[in-house]
A and B are shown apart, each in its own frame.
Chain A
Amino acid sequence: MLYDVIMAGFGGQGVLLIGDLLAFAAMREGRQVTWMPAYGVEMRGGAANCTVIISDRKIGSPLSVEPAALIAMSQPGLVKFRERVRPGGLMVINTSLADPESVARNDVEVVGLPANEIATEELNDPKNANMVVLGAFITKSGAVSFEKTLDSLSAFLPPERQRLAEGIARALQRGKLFAQEGR
């Protein structure tokens, strides 16, 4: 089985970081995985995106033309990739900064959640909006095990950032709850 997802947003939203965590969790499950960032002379605040591919076999191209899923943290990120998701695929959209109505497709599953509001108002932790979205994505897609992702957090974070683990775990849990209950 091969599962590929593109995550898109702008610099500073932690788009590359959630890709990193997803890839790390997949590796800890013993799977093959690639993480490929978009790079460029993009100045600060510019677009940021990455592609994560998880498979049980050796992975060929680390880029995907028609991914199974898209995580859109921003409207430009959504616009850039919305046509590319495979029919039957999944889109998890941060409705705080992107409009799910603009997807205009009925052949994909769309999950919208106001991640910035949730992170800021409920969790008092605005930096973890990305993790709220990742929690929802993992729950919906089953790309990796949610529990294993939580378990891998302390190995994922470098020693000097261990204190962030708890907040990230809370944000992931909140995203999971949203994916399950729609609120």
Chain B
Amino acid sequence: MEERIMLKGSVALAEGALTAGCRYYFGYPITPQNDIPEYLSLHMPERGGVFIQAESEVASINMLLGAAAAGARAMTSSSGPGISLMQEGLSYMAGSELPCVVVNITRSGPGLGGISPTQGDYKQATCGGGHGDYYLIVLAPSSVQEMYDLTIRGFELADKYRNPVMILGDAILGQMKEPVTLRDAKPVTYDKPWALTGPKGRKPQLVKSLYLKDGEMEVHNWKLAEKYRRLAEEDTMVEVDEDADADIAVVAYGSCARIVISAVEMAREEGIRVSRIRPITLYPFPSGEIRRVSEKVGRFLTVEMNTGQMVRDVRLSVAPGCDVRLLARPGGAIPTPQQILAEIRKALE
């Protein structure tokens, strides 16, 4: 099935979930991601799945916890305030080592904020978001094709590492239509001997995150840490469009990275030597690649739709002495290619 079809980002994402074998969706309405539950309320039952509109995001994430504990591939989607309400559940799921996919089609904040595209949730997503020593695996699609592909990948990674995965999109990626090629290949699945299915013919099993005995919690934390180390080693994803003689490298992710593509094209037309780096996994952050490029390029420009969140990770990654600048547009404002180009020129003065 190599045919291209025109799909909206949120529909591509929902199709990705169905392709990945997700048959359980729990969610609560919130703009700008309502296309996802609306699409799945129609199509999930058609494919033999379950769609529940939960009474709140707190309920959604805990329904997800239950479905994941029972061994199913399950998903929820939300935005801003709804994602905040899910943090307790996410922390429990990370602690209990339960896989799931949570989609955040962001809206600007804090508070009720606005519904325009933003990258203001970078911090929340990449630092775990809830209480305790854990991380989410965070994937940042940048095209409608990736809304589909990375959702499938997200389910695979969730199961591989037994950890919640967050897909971080925004209203641009959710609303935009682009040609998409749907996959025929089967998604990778993993055995789940730990799933709660009733102790028939085996010892009773337990899903929990409570560790009260002496030293037990530390052992558990180190076990999780080792998992995150392996994740970084095996599954960090990044796109690098490198000019071997670049004078500057521009870093951006998600929809913002699309605008950077246009800016970099314009810069190259002017004869400016520039490399472009797009983190695809925001956690684990592609520090290695950024370090490698920074050994050769002394100047970096980070472009973000917030007041400057990813720039901290970039600064921690680059080689000593590398000058890292920031172009930041918060609150739903979108940088233009012209603005980014001007910033590139300024950095090279």
A: residues with CB less than 8 A from B are: 20, 23-24, 27, 32-37, 39-41, 58-63, 65
Contacts and interface: CB of A to CB of B under 8 A. Distances in A.
A41 B258 contact: no
B258 A60 contact: yes
B32 A60 contact: no
Contact of B6 (A35, A60, A62): A35
Contacts of A20: 6, 177
B266 to A, nearest CB: 9
Interface centre among A34, A37, A41 (most CB of B within 10 A): A34
A40 B115 contact: yes
B178 A60 contact: no
A27 B6 contact: yes
B337 A60 contact: yes
Contact of B176 (A27, A32, A34): A34
Contact of B178 (A33, A39, A61, A63): A33
Contacts of A39: 32, 115, 171, 175
A27 B3 CA distance: 11
> Interface residues of B: mostly helix, strand, loop or mixed?
helix
Contacts, number: 61
12 contacts: A20-B6, A33-B178, A36-B177, A37-B175, A60-B259, A60-B263, A61-B258, A61-B261, A61-B262, A62-B178, A62-B255, A63-B259
Contacts of A63: 172, 259, 334
A69 B177 CA distance: 19
Given A27-B179, A37-B175, A65-B336, A60 B4 contact: no
Contacts of B338: 65
A10 to B, nearest CB: 18
Contacts of A34: 176-178
Nearest to B171: A39
Interface string B18-35: 000000000000011000
B177 A23 contact: yes
B258 A36 contact: no
Contact of B179 (A33, A37, A41, A61): A33
A63 B176 CA distance: 10
B226 interface: no
Contact of A62 (B179, B258, B265): B258
B260 interface: yes
A33 B334 CA distance: 20
B209 to A, nearest CB: 38
A35 B180 CA distance: 13
B115 A62 contact: no
